[in-house]
Chains A and B, each alone.
Chain A
Amino acid sequence: GENVEQHPSTLSVQEGDSAVIKCTYSDSASNYFPWYKQELGKGPQLIIDIRSNVGEKKDQRIAVTLNKTAKHFSLHITETQPEDSAVYFCAAKDTGRRALTFGSGTRLQVQP
């Protein structure tokens, strides 16, 4: 089955700096890669996703890149703000399946 590895496990940045979180996946049949933000006491919130037919997608300060050959994808947050502090999860979904396979999460701390 699919295996998703996520790095780093914790990331501390200064407000205004950029943050990058990286994930690798094992199953070449995976074609959908969402990113979720989880704040304390809340469920995962979908913030951006990318499908295997594109290499990059941007939404304001957030961008995701996908390298299908290397089987890795990354989340980029620019101009970080204290409210970006949360745990971020990457996930992957295999073609023909419904289940998301999650990474282990990255705790992002944005220092004011």
Chain B
Amino acid sequence: EPEVTQTPSHQVTQMGQEVILRCVPISNHLYFYWYRQILGQKVEFLVSFYNNEISEKSEIFDDQFSVERPDGSNFTLKIRSTKLEDSAMYFCASSDGVNNEQFFGPGTRLTVL
């Protein structure tokens, strides 16, 4: 069964450094998403991406964040200058756009020291 994959599974970085989190969505899906989950808190929406542009974003997704689909398979989330409060689990998801179903990857745990 096709699934969303994410790399790395765990990323440790120093405050102020740039990080790139990578995702490979399900191959025939057209919509891509990033969510995050701070330890012990709700899963929160960050951004959705369709047709090579951002279709929706939350207040969390400020100028420090950017997304890109650099090729036909990868979808990336870049955090330009990490802060301690960016420490969280980041989930990528994808959907086919016909149904509302969103399928999540296993997540990348980001630790900012």
Contacts and interface: CB of A to CB of B under 8 A. Distances in A.
Interface of A: 32, 34, 36, 41-46, 49, 51, 89, 91, 93, 97-105
B25 interface: no
B56 A100 contact: no
Interface of B: 4, 6, 31, 33, 35, 41-45, 48, 50, 55-56, 58, 91, 95, 100-107
A71 B41 CA distance: 23
Contacts of A45: 104
Contacts, number: 54
A34 B19 CA distance: 31
- If over half of B's interface residues share one DSSP class (helix, strand or loop), that class is named, otherwise mixed; here it is strand
Nearest to B46: A99
A89 B44 CA distance: 12
Nearest to B109: A41
Contacts of B44: 102
B45 A44 contact: no
A99 B48 contact: yes
B55 A103 contact: no
Contacts of B42: 102-105
A46 B43 CA distance: 14
10 contacts: A41-B106, A42-B107, A44-B91, A46-B102, A46-B104, A51-B100, A97-B56, A98-B95, A99-B48, A100-B45
Given A42-B106, A43-B105, A46-B103, A102 B33 contact: no
